[in-house]
Structure 1
């Protein structure tokens, strides 16, 4: 488990200077009022919408696949708003990594934290069943204000970004575990402790079952929540975070532990999990990560891509 951000003199190599300069500018923006940050983020998102044709195509296709009955004008409005919210998410991450605890607490509301405490007090680990909502980094920082846990993450390929994300995320977590390290996740849950878990992205064919998600009948979906809950003797608690509509702060809610989970069949658990994912996304569709190619993996290699 990673419990410290390791700084090395290699990170100061001249090839990294442009990135460090950009990081310095980003860190300065955390001094701005939240509404100013969100205004900048909104403009950035509109710019990306115009320039990033491939990302726009991915989001448009996701809307077509998930919401085939949605009127075209409504999908276009959702697309524009989603890119604006995506631009704002840059500042959510900046704030999550560099705001003081006091400032985080001034801009947050939390509901359902008693479910976490009750589960841990009962000697069971907590699996926070989350989706990739755009303010997720801030959600982790907020959660750490009352119950630091274990973050499950993908190490970054760039050493500077790896140092920064570990340092930033350890402000609210006891440690970080690479997403493929099942043994350490199970050990943390049996401690008992809290870990984050997301099943709403496409992780490839080898570890997936193909089940419905919205109007897509065969979305590649991992079944790890069942495995973790069984091996870790843990409870699964749905988790959601969003930015206020008026951009004045963040709301987080932890729902009650799922009954009868895990069940007798991991396929049925995964189907149930996708229904929960839909419910969480529908709380604020504007603030979900629609730029991800969620349906890129098809049931067979011969099955045509949904993104062409």
Structure 2
């Protein structure tokens, strides 16, 4: 299995060998597709999602397991329709990612509305920096790119296994954001907060038992990142909840400052975060990352994964 490593210290010449040609070809296709009009991208995204749902047995199983856990009162038919809508939304998200990588933000600027911009100014006026927390929705790349129009934000990111993808992704984000931070680099996070900057975490994925506490998510105990609570406690940084998503005619971004957080209890803080994420999901269920293994780590070590067939 390929090791995930940064490419920021490497020249493109490191990735021009024959074993990377297929990846570069895919990047070339992605570049060309980024020029399609928005309606064309949505149409092709829906088509891609429909094909992915039909062919991806593993991701489809993960999605259906998650929906059954989180929405037990839904009928099987309702969950199937939601799963299909989710895959279409993720397909559109692929094209939005291409746009965020290869197109100037001005191309989609008029489609984006940012609500509550004054929240960031009030938070940074306290002089302790701020931690922006949000969930994974299918428009994360495009909306994140536009967040940088309004906020000098330092996003936390996860490296990919494909070095060509990393080479493109890391340079795109370096061009958009004044600083990006690989998710294991806690020292860089603290440095940014001391400089009174905004740091952005997507906090709703399973990072394993070591980095988490267990808190309910849609009624089921779920490994939830505990680092945010400790960071807020140690740095006194303000915590802002970030919501965003795709609408019928474009996109929205919104910020809200959390009060009485952290509480001093990591499980209580994780429970608060999960409830807030649930509320965001319920307004746009199909856009959430249901095809990620949100319940991978079990509360009792050794218990079987719910995704096991």
Using the size of structure 1 for normalisation, the TM-score is: 0.94
Q: How does 1:1-308 map to 2 (within 5 A)?
A: 6-216=10-220, 218-245=221-248, 248-255=249-256, 257-308=257-308
Kindly provide the CA deviation profile for residues 125-168 of structure 1, in whole angstroms up to 9, marking residues without a partner as x: 12111100111111210111121311111222222111111112
CA deviation after TM superposition for structure 1 residue 175, in Å: 1.3
Aligned to 2:3: none
Kindly provide the CA deviation profile for residues 186-245 of structure 1, in whole angstroms up to 9, marking residues without a partner as x: 1101210011112211111122222210031x2111211111212232111111111123
Alignment root-mean-square deviation, CA: 1.6
User: Higher mean Cα deviation, 266-275 or 118-127?
Assistant: 118-127
Q: 1:189 touches 1:232 (CA, 8 Å); kept in 2?
A: yes
SS of residue paired to 1:144: helix
The CA distance in 1 between the partners of 2:83 and 2:105, in whole Å, is 33
Aligned length: 303
SS of residue paired to 1:206: helix
Q: 2:134 touches 2:202 (CA, 8 Å); kept in 1?
A: yes
Q: Which runs of no fewer than 5 residues in structure 1 stay unpaired?
A: none
The CA distance in 2 between the partners of 1:233 and 1:30, in whole Å, is 41
The CA distance in 2 between the partners of 1:107 and 1:99, in whole Å, is 14
Query: Using a 3 Å threshold, how does the CA distance of structure 1 residues 254 and 5 change in structure 2: closer, same or farther?
Result: farther
The CA distance in 1 between the partners of 2:117 and 2:176, in whole Å, is 15
Q: 2:7 touches 2:166 (CA, 8 Å); kept in 1?
A: no
Kindly provide the CA deviation profile for residues 82-114 of structure 1, in whole angstroms up to 9, marking residues without a partner as x: 011111110111111122132131221111111
SS of residue paired to 2:26: helix
The CA distance in 2 between the partners of 1:143 and 1:15, in whole Å, is 35
